[in-house]
Amino acid sequence: MRDVKTLLAPLQYPTSDFIFIDEVDPDKEESKEKLRQSRLQLFNLIKSHKPAEQKKHKDIDLEEEQIKKLRKRFEQQREAFERDQKTAQTALDNVLEELKKVKEDERKQRQELQN
């Protein structure tokens, strides 16, 4: 695995690879010559460029049917989660209601004992 710092480092180009054109005046011979030189330099840069080697890492084998199955499975899991969440919320509400009743009964018993 390659170093992230190396992968994200900016590319460096020599200044000789840069092409600068001050102005383009079709009437001036100097301008025409600069343009010709720039085109030639650009052509040479393109010609000397070596494309990077392309490596095949792994095939992507997701077919339409597989994607549909995955979506359906995901939807079923989401629905099951929602049912479980509702069941858990109902159980929690029941426990809280029961706790309120116990506290109320305890408060009544204390009042009876104090009287």
Query: Do 23 and 33 meet the contact criterion of CB atoms below 8 Å apart?
Result: no
Report DSSP state, residue 79: H
pLDDT of 94-108, one tens digit each? 999 999 999 999 999
Per-residue pLDDT of 46-65, as tens digits, reads 888 787 888 888 777 768 88
Q: Could you give the 3-state DSSP secondary structure of residue 43?
A: helix
The per-residue pLDDT for 18 is 75
Separation between Cα atoms, residue 19 and residue 38, nearest integer Å: 6
Prediction pTM value: 0.37
